[in-house]
Structure 1
Amino acid sequence: MPFSPVLDVLDWPNPITARAITDSGWLPSRRIDITTWVERLEAEGYNVSPSAVAILQNFGDLALHPPAIPEALWPASPLFFDPIDVGHGMYERYIDLESAIGHRMTPLAADSAGTTFVLILDDGRVVSDSVQGLYLLADTFPDALDLLLRRHRTPDLLLAYDRDRRTPVSSARTLPCPQ
C-alpha cells in the first residue's frame, strides 16, 4: 500500500507512535517546500519517488524522539528527516544496493549517531542502511516509523556487508512486489 500523503493520528499503528510523532511537531496538514532537496537528490542520480516526496513534505526537518521503553530491543536514538544528510555523496554506494535488491531507493532520514539511514524503495517499502547491513523495516511508512520508535521487533536482514569495505557480501534477496 503506497504512503498516503495525508495521515491523521488515527492511522498510526500504535498510540505510542502517534504520540511520539505529534510530540515532534507533526500535524496531518504539515507541508514544507522540498524543491531544493529534490533537485539536489536528482542531480546526484537519485530517483525521488512520489512516496518519498509525500513523506518529506510531511516530515522534512522534523526530529522524532523515540520514547523510553524498557522492553525495547535497541537503544532509543532520535531520527532526523533530512535526505541530504543521508544521500549526499552516497549515490554510488546506493546504486550497488539498488542493483542487489532490485529496487530504486530514496533517502529520507538518519539517526542521531549517523549510523542508521532510512530510505524508501520505489514500491513504498522502507529499509534501513546500517553498519551491519540493509534491513527491511516494513512494507509501509507508518509501520516503519512504528518500528523505529517502539523498537519492538527485529527488522529482516536483506543484505549483509563486508565490515571493512561496507560492500554487499551475502547473496541479497531480490524483493518481490508486495501482495
Structure 2
Amino acid sequence: MSLISNSNINKKKNMNINPISEYVGEILRSAGWSVDRKVSTDLYQSYFRREGMSYFPDAIEILENFGGLKVNPPLNPDRVYATGEIEFDPIMADWTTEVIAWEKKMEEPLCCLGSIWGDNALLVLSEKGVFYSLSEVGVHNIADNLADALEVLIAATSKPSQVYKIEDLF
C-alpha cells in the first residue's frame, strides 16, 4: 500500500487519504502519475474564472497532482462494474452549463476535475470534499475522499450511488 500524497490535502475535511491499493497505484504510475508530480493549474484556474465556475484549494491541489493525466484502467477481475477512461482535465471536459446547474440544485460549490467513463460523465469535487459523477442520468456519489474515489474509478471495487436523477434538475 502507498499513500497518494503527503500534502495538506490529506489532513483537510473529508480529504484524508486512505492508502490506495497496489493495483490502483500501479495503474496511476503507468499513466505517468507520481506522489511528487506537480503541474501548473494556471490554465484551469483561468478557465474556471472565465466560465464563472467554482474552484477551491482542495480541487486545485488535486489538479496540481493529477492534471493532464489520462488513465485507462484495465478490467479488474474483481470489479463490480465496467470502468472507462479518466481524463483529469476540466477544460477538455467542458460541461460548464451542467456543472453550474447541478451546483445550484445541490446548493454547494462543485469543481470539475475532468471526465470519466470515456467522457460519459464528469468527475467533480464538492467543497465539502465529496467526489461525484455528473452525467445525463444524474448525479452519483463516488466517494468521500480521493483514495476511495480512485479505487472506485480505477479498480471498480464498488459502484457509485445515485444521489439525483436527471429529472430532479428540472
**Which TM-score applies when normalising by structure 2?**
0.83
Give the superposition deviation at 1:92. 3.3
* CA deviation vs aligned residue, 1:147-169 (integer Å, no higher than 9, x gap): 0001121212111013xxxx625
* CA deviation vs aligned residue, 1:125-178 (integer Å, no higher than 9, x gap): 11001222101101111111110001121212111013xxxx625xxxxxxxxx
1:138 aligns with 2:138: no
Cα 1:148–1:32, aligned 2, differ >3 Å: closer, same or farther?
same
Give the superposition deviation at 1:118. 0.3
Moved more, 131-140 or 11-20: 11-20
* Higher relative helix content: 2
Decide which of 3, 10, 19 is 2:9's aligned counterpart.
3
Matches within 5 A, 1:64-83: 64-83=71-90
Partner of 2:113: 108
The CA distance in 2 between the partners of 1:50 and 1:28, in whole Å, is 18
Partner of 1:173: none
Partner of 1:26: 33
Q: Which runs of 4+ in 1 moved over 4 A?
A: none
The CA distance in 1 between the partners of 2:86 and 2:96, in whole Å, is 21
Note if contact 2:33-2:66 (Cα within 8 Å) is conserved in structure 1.
yes
The CA distance in 2 between the partners of 1:103 and 1:121, in whole Å, is 7
SS in 2 for 1:4: helix
The CA distance in 1 between the partners of 2:118 and 2:86, in whole Å, is 9
Give the superposition deviation at 1:3. 3.1
Let me know the Cα RMSD of the aligned residues.
2.1
Structure 2 residue identity aligned to 1:56 = L
Decide which of 90, 95, 102 is 1:97's aligned counterpart.
102
Give the superposition deviation at 1:91. 3.1
Partner of 1:168: 169
* CA deviation vs aligned residue, 1:34-85 (integer Å, no higher than 9, x gap): 1011111111111211011101110011111213213322223121111112
Give the superposition deviation at 1:93. 2.6
Partner of 1:175: none
SS in 1 for 2:23: helix
Note if contact 2:83-2:117 (Cα within 8 Å) is conserved in structure 1.
no
SS in 1 for 2:9: coil
Decide which of 114, 121, 127 is 1:122's aligned counterpart.
127
**Which TM-score applies when normalising by structure 1?**
0.79
The CA distance in 2 between the partners of 1:92 and 1:112, in whole Å, is 19
The CA distance in 2 between the partners of 1:96 and 1:130, in whole Å, is 12
